[in-house]
Structure 1
């Protein structure tokens, strides 16, 4: 089963996204911040990381950079952002190595497409 780490501290949005990911057959684990996410990746080597711009204490480009420099499998990162997000933020996140970006809100079909684009078999 494909393991996914979802980094988000928005409870309602996180539960909704977790349901969509589970519906696509992904085993989803949750963290709210960067330190927890890095610890999780070191211990569990997820196949994909879904990173919300709303995650507390997370500078998306820095977390992606730290994931790329670590030795725990370098999972593809899909960066989730809202319409109001700073365009520089997701541009820098892509430059640091995120596999793709996905603007919220989105539906199951678009999520499925983006995961496949990132190389995740779902």
Structure 2
């Protein structure tokens, strides 16, 4: 079963995303702290990390940077945006290591497509 670390503080959107991921056969683990996220990735090697941009802008960059430096096969990171980022922010997200970017709201089909683009066999 594919595993996903989800970093999202919004309970409502998190529950909805968890349900969609479960429907795709993805097991979800949750955190809202960068140090826990990196520790989880080092200990459990999830196939993907999904980060809500609303989880604290600095934290999203910190997680990606720390995963990159950990030296242990970094999983693809998918950033979730509730608002359309400006061009500079979108570009920065990609430069920081995002494999994919998803704009809320999205449906199960788009989520499935983006996870496959990120290299997951779901």
TM-score in same-fold range (> 0.5): yes
Spell out the pairing of 1:7-46 with structure 2 (5 A cutoff): 7-46=7-46
Spell out the pairing of 1:81-100 with structure 2 (5 A cutoff): 81-100=81-100
5+ unaligned residues in a row in structure 1: which ranges? none
- The count of residues paired between Structure 1 and Structure 2 equals 122
Contact kept, 8 Å, 2:34 with 2:62, in 1: the verdict is no
5+ unaligned residues in a row in structure 2: which ranges? none
TM-score (norm 1): 0.90
For residues 19-65 of structure 1, give each alpha carbon's deviation from its aligned partner in whole angstroms, at most 9, with x where no partner exists.
10011001110111212211111111100001101114743233212
Q: After TM superposition, give the deviation of residue 96 of structure 1 in Å.
A: 1.8
TM-score (norm 2): 0.90
Q: Which residue of 2 aligns with 1:104?
A: 104
- Which is further off, 100-109 or 87-96? 87-96
Q: Which residue of 1 aligns with 2:116?
A: 116
- 1: distance between equivalents of 2:97 and 2:111? 19
Q: Which runs of 4+ in 1 moved over 6 A?
A: none
Contact kept, 8 Å, 1:49 with 1:77, in 2: the verdict is yes
Give the aligned CA root-mean-square deviation in angstroms: 1.6
